[in-house]
Amino acid sequence: MKKVPIISAEKAASLVKDGDVILGGGFGMTGNPVNIIHELAKTKTKDLTFIANNVGEPNMGGGRLLNNGQLKKVIGSFFTSNREAVLAAQEGRVDYELLPQGTLAEAIRAGGAGIGGFYTPTSAGTLIAEGRETKILNGKEQVFIEGIRGNVAIIRAWKADTAGNLQYRMTEQNFNRAMATAADIVIAEVQEIVPVGELDPNEIHTPGCYVDFLVERKLTEEDLGSSASVGSSKVVDEKRMNMAKRAFAELKKGDVVNLGIGIPTLVADLIKPEDGIILHTENGMLGVGPEPKDGGGAMFYPVNAGKVPVTALPGSSYFDSADSFAMIRGGHIDVAIMGGLEVDAAGNLANWTVPGKPLLGVGGAMDLASGAKKLIVTLRHTDRDGASKVVEKCSLPITDFNCVDMLITELAVFKFIAGQLTLVEILPGSSLEEVREKTEAKFVEKL
C-alpha cells in the first residue's frame, strides 16, 4: 500500500513556487487549510494565482497572502465577505476573475477529471459571461467554461490514513474534494493521521491516489474566523417577518428549499419538523436545522451558506460543492428564496452587484436563479431615497433573465402570470394606492 510522506506545514509551504496557481480549499474558514496558508504567508513566494471560493477573511487564510502582496490574481465566487479583497480588486492592486459558485466547483471537477471544459446555462447573457463562447443547446443559451487545474492544491480534511485516503467532516467537503483531484501537487492538512486500515473504505471521500503530502495540524476555534460561534446578524421587524411568512406560505411538504441571505433566512425560523420541508445549503448539506442552542460554532457543527453554524436534522446528508450545484442545475431544488436589488416587469433579477459599491461576488445566485424549479424573491419595495426597486427594466447588472416566479415586498405580492407582472395581494399595513404610487413597473391587478 502507498505510503504518503508526512511533512510539516513549513515544508508544505516551501513546495509552492513563484508564479504558481494555487487551489485553496474551504468555504469561508470552514474546511480551510489555514495553517499551511499562514506558513506560506511567512515566505517570500510571490506572483501567485489563488483560486478559491473566497479570499479567506480579513488577514486570515488567503486574506493574509493578499495583504502581504503575494497574490497576482484571485479567481473565486464571493469576495464580498472579505472587504480587503474587494478593495484590492476594485483599486487594481490584484487582478481578479469572478465565476458563479457552481461554475467554479464544476470547472475544478472537470479539470481534475481531465475534461477540457463544459457548457452551462448559468450566467448566460450576463456580465460574467462577457467574452466567453456561447452555444444554444436544448433551446437554451449556454456558456463554455474551461476546466481548472492548479500547480498546487492545499486542502483540509478531518482524517487521513498513511496511504493518503481522506475523510471529511460535516460541511468541510465544500471545494476540498474537487481540488484534491485537480493539481500537480496535492497537500492535505488534516486533524488526525491514522494507520492504514483504520478508515472504513465505505467512508473514504478522497482516495489516496490523489494525495501527495500530509500535514497533521489540529484545528482551533481561532482558525474558524466568523464561523467559530453563532453570531446571528438577523434583523427582525414586523415588515420583514410578514415577507418571510408570506414566502413560507408558498412551501409544501416535501419541498427541497434553498434560502438566500437576508430576509429569506427568517423563513428557516418558521419551519417546524412536522412541515416536512428540507433545507438545502449550497456549500454541501441537505436537511439543515436551526442554529445550535448552545451557541457552539463550526468546531462542533456544520455551517450554512451564510457561514453560520447550524444543526443537522435526522436524515441529513453532506456532500461537496460540485454535487450541491449539480442538484441545483439538475432541477432537484423545488424552491429558491433569495433577496434582490431590483426585479423588473419581464421577471429579470438583479441581486449580485452595484457598480462602485463594496459588493464583489456572485456566489450561488446565478445557479439558483436559473436552476431552481420556482424562484421567490423578497426585497424592500423602495430604496432609501424612495426609488422603486420594482422597475420597468433593471438598471443593475442582471443575475438571470425571466427567472422570477413570485415577488414579495413589504407592501405586496406579485406573480408572473403568462409573462406579466401581476399584483395578487396587498400585505398588512399597505394599500393599493401605495403600491401603485411606489411601483415603477407596469403591472396587472388581479387581487
What span, in angstroms and rounded, lies between the C-alpha atoms of 139 and 117?
20
Instruction: Tell me how crowded residue 206 is: count the other CB atoms within 10 A of its CB.
Output: 25
DSSP 229: S
Each residue of 365-383: b (16+ CB within 10 Å) or e? bbbbbbbbebbbbbbbbbe
147 in Cβ contact with 117 (< 8 Å): yes
Residues whose CB is less than 8 angstroms from the CB of residue 387 and which lie 6 or more positions away in sequence, other chains included? 440
Rounded distance, CA 353 to CA 357, Å?
Answer: 8
378/381 Cα distance (integer angstroms): 9
Contact 302, 271 (CB under 8 A): no
- Active site (annotated) includes residue 172: no
Give residue 81's identity as a one-letter amino acid code: S
57, 106, 172, 282: the catalytic one is 282
DSSP character string of 19-58: T-EEEE--BTTBT--HHHHHHHTTS---SEEEESSS--BT
| Nearest-angstrom CA–CA distance, 365 and 100 | 8
Q: How far is CA 405 from the centre of its chain?
A: 22
Phi, psi of 66 (to 5 degrees): -60, -50
Q: C-alpha angle 325/328/333, rounded to 5°?
A: 140
Q: 433-438 — which CB contacts under 8 Å span 24+ positions? A: 435/381, 435/411, 438/381, 438/382, 438/386, 438/388, 438/390, 438/411
Pairing mode, strands 150-161 and 166-167: antiparallel
Instruction: Say if strands 256-259 and 374-378 run parallel, antiparallel, or are unpaired.
Output: unpaired
How far lies 217's CA from each of 7, 34, 156, 195, in Å? 10, 10, 10, 17
Residue 381's closest CA among 417, 354, 409?
A: 409
Which residue carries 474558514 as its cell? 29
Bin 363: left if φ > 0, else alpha if -120 < ψ < 50, else beta.
Answer: left
Catalytic sites, residue numbers: 282
